[in-house]
A and B are shown apart, each in its own frame.
Chain A
Amino acid sequence: MKAVKHITGTAIPMNINDIDTDIIIPAQYLTSTSQSGYGEHAFARLKTNPDFVLNQDKYQQAPILLTGSNFGCGSSREHAIWAIQELGIKAIIAPSFADIFANNAKKNGLLLIQQPDEVMSQLILQTTISEVNIAIDIQSQTIQAKNTTSKFELDEFFKHCLINGLDELDYLMSNIEKIKDFKNQQKNRTLFI
């Protein structure tokens, strides 16, 4: 994973509540055995509407998604995260996220930022009127857009991983010698297989 300290760029206003994992990536695209190829099907049903934000040129590869509450509800499919990341999205700002989606996001280095409704409505308003750049600073846990500045919460460990460009697996592998020692000691003491 690449180290990420700041995420800056165009924000996509997708002001819809309860976007579920079926909307993000419909079930018919899940039988694939690969981890890529989901981006082109992301939000497939919404994309059939020509006015849908993600059909607009200025939002192609935009890194920040602004959206409604309870984003990512539904099934546990990690494909939803992979699909969103393939669109170039690196952070999602919303009033709330579904639990499993939030967990899956962490495992894939996708930053989820929770903001209160007042801040959300300001951001949505600004970005709907004109194209707006949002700057996210991970170290200080702040977002800055035009005249809106706001703090956000971040899990300590996830912050450490993002800033240092570690994903969970990298972190585990950085402890591999300790792990091997541990496993050697387990043999025939607490583990008999």
Chain B
Amino acid sequence: MNKNIIDKIWDAHIVKQNPEHPAILAIDFCLVHEVTSAQAFDTLRHKSLPVLDTTKLLATVDHSIPTRKNRHEIFDQMAKAQVQKLRDNTAEFEVPFYDMDSSHQGIVHVVGPELGITQPGMTIVCGDSHTATHGAFGALAFGIGTSTVGHVFASGCLLMNKPKVMKVEFNGKFQAGVSAKDAIMKLIAQIGIGGANGHVIEYTGSALTDMSMEARMTLCNMSIECGAVAGLIAPDNITYDYLKTKQYAPKENWNKAVDYWNSLKSDTGCYYDHEILIDVSQLKPMVSWGTNPQQAIEIDQVIPKSSDDMTKNALDYVQLSAGDKLMNTDLDWAFVGSCTNGRIEDLRITASILKDRKIASNMTFYIVPGSEQVMKQAADEGLINIINQSGAEFRMPGCSMCLGMNDDKVPAGKRCISSTNRNFVGRQGTGSITHLASPATVAASAIAGKIVSANQYFCANGDIK
């Protein structure tokens, strides 16, 4: 039988499959953060159960912590209690925990890969919908609810019916200044927020051949925004080169591991429930105009006309009209960060555009590294200085302005261009307006004080001028 990569990973993790029952699926790793874990630890207490294998869990704090320098002091009492609860729970159940004073704290989906925890062929879960990020390594990674987090703690497994599989092929060579973020936003705009409901997506195609791991993570990260259970990319030499030196990567078993990982490719002639082809060679930078990630266009297009309620409500909220251009729309805020675009490559692009330039005087621009490691590397490479000299503000690692759950919020009525993944009503703060875009587009727009393409900063070969 010709199998696709998802069949292969799925089959390798079936502990038990009774007819008419969901499968007992073995879970290889579970990432934990402060917001969705407390009730799961309570379940263990309730049932007097231990964690099955504490070496297969890792906890950190990201969502509700401040990103100012003195972030240890949390002013919001609920957030403070939530963080303390995670400290207590991880201590009681002996779960490895990277707290704010550790050199590995950060957004769960940034920390896992940079430690080498995320490896091809694994099943990885987290109580967070952007867990698909780890799919960049050829892992089957997806978000789960709090009850299921408890199930995984206690049994190292969960119950699940096999999802369908969709193949999305990105072909062609990106134009200068266009990146993985634009490609995934294009897919979502094309198939819609429910376009991949119930499916796992396998991303393939020539556009991925020399794509970095950082960019592949950006691509997989937003799979949930078109309804997919998960998104993944078959591992290759770029994957192995990235992994090789990482802390948790196999050492003496390295060759054996690579042999196994090389088998995780979809067989020719394998079955997919759906197939989609996207040519990226003519793609322009994408920017969202509405209140969900499907409402996005290429930067030089106009907001489409539509009479449906969803469009009308969105336009009311964002104070724009059908037929308007996004290009040159005035901005107040800019943000580069999050599990979508808060990795070192994103900061490099941002810094090289900001270098020797100033952001517009009315703009506030937060640049937030995805983790302590990213922050350290940014310091070593001199990026933090460049960023601070431009008038942008480099902050401490965390989810920050991605979700308006900590101190970092876009004020009501203010318009922000953001490298994040969701532009829902009030997502970045009550009454805030969000335009999703790539880090390059965000940086160029911060300099201009309005939405512009980063085109002028790139040479034809893709290098930054």
Residue ranges of A at the interface with B (Cβ–Cβ < 8 Å): 31-35, 76, 78, 103-104, 107-108, 156-157, 160, 168-169, 171-173, 175-176, 178-179, 182-183, 186, 188-193
Contact = CB atoms under 8 A, between A and B. Distances in A.
A171 B151 CA distance: 10
A66 to B, nearest CB: 26
A103 B159 CA distance: 12
Contact of A78 (B52, B145, B156): B145
B285 interface: no
A172 B24 contact: yes
Contacts of A76: 145
B156 A179 contact: yes
B147 A179 contact: no
A173 B119 CA distance: 27
B42 interface: yes
Contact of B53 (A33, A103, A183, A192): A183
A103 B229 CA distance: 14
A171 B157 CA distance: 11
B119 A169 contact: no
Contact of A178 (B15, B43, B249): B15
Contact of A192 (B148, B158, B257): B257
Contact of A193 (B52, B81, B122, B146): B122
A190 to B, nearest CB: 5
Given A169-B47, A176-B155, A179-B155, A34 B24 contact: no
A188 B43 CA distance: 31
B121 interface: yes
A188 B260 CA distance: 10
A104 B149 CA distance: 13
Contacts of A186: 26, 28
12 contacts: A31-B82, A107-B147, A156-B20, A157-B21, A169-B151, A169-B154, A173-B49, A176-B155, A182-B26, A190-B12, A190-B121, A192-B249
A101 B16 CA distance: 26
Nearest to A157: B21
B150 interface: yes
Contacts of B24: 172, 175, 179
A183 B82 contact: no
- Sort A-B residue pairs by CB-CB distance and give the 6 closest, nearest first: A33-B38, A192-B250, A172-B155, A31-B78, A192-B257, A156-B20
Contact of B147 (A108, A171, A182): A108
B42 A190 contact: no
A168 B327 CA distance: 51
B406 to A, nearest CB: 12
B382 interface: no
B429 to A, nearest CB: 15
A107 B82 CA distance: 24
Interface of B: 12, 15-16, 20-22, 24, 26, 28-29, 38-39, 42-43, 47, 49, 52-53, 56, 78-79, 81-82, 85, 117, 119, 121-122, 145-148, 150-151, 154-159, 248-250, 253, 256-257, 260
Contacts of B150: 169
A172 B256 CA distance: 31
B85 A33 contact: yes
B244 to A, nearest CB: 12
B85 A179 contact: no
Contacts of B250: 192-193
Contacts of B256: 188, 192
B310 to A, nearest CB: 15
Given A31-B78, A183-B53, A188 B253 contact: yes
Most chain B CB within 10 A, of A32, A103, A160, A168, is at A168
A173 B156 contact: no
A185 B147 CA distance: 27
Nearest to A82: B39
Contact of A169 (B12, B28, B146, B155): B155
Contacts of B49: 173
B12 A193 contact: no
Contacts of A103: 145
B43 A157 contact: no
B28 A191 contact: yes
Given A34-B38, A175-B15, A193-B117, 10 more contacts: A32-B78, A35-B43, A156-B21, A169-B43, A169-B47, A169-B147, A169-B150, A175-B24, A179-B26, A192-B256
A192 B145 CA distance: 27
A107 B148 contact: yes
A176 to B, nearest CB: 6
B66 to A, nearest CB: 16
Contact of A173 (B26, B155, B257): B155
A114 to B, nearest CB: 19
A192 B249 CA distance: 8
Given A31-B82, A33-B38, A175-B16, A193 B159 contact: no
A173 B157 CA distance: 9
B88 to A, nearest CB: 10
A135 B21 CA distance: 27
A103 B22 CA distance: 13
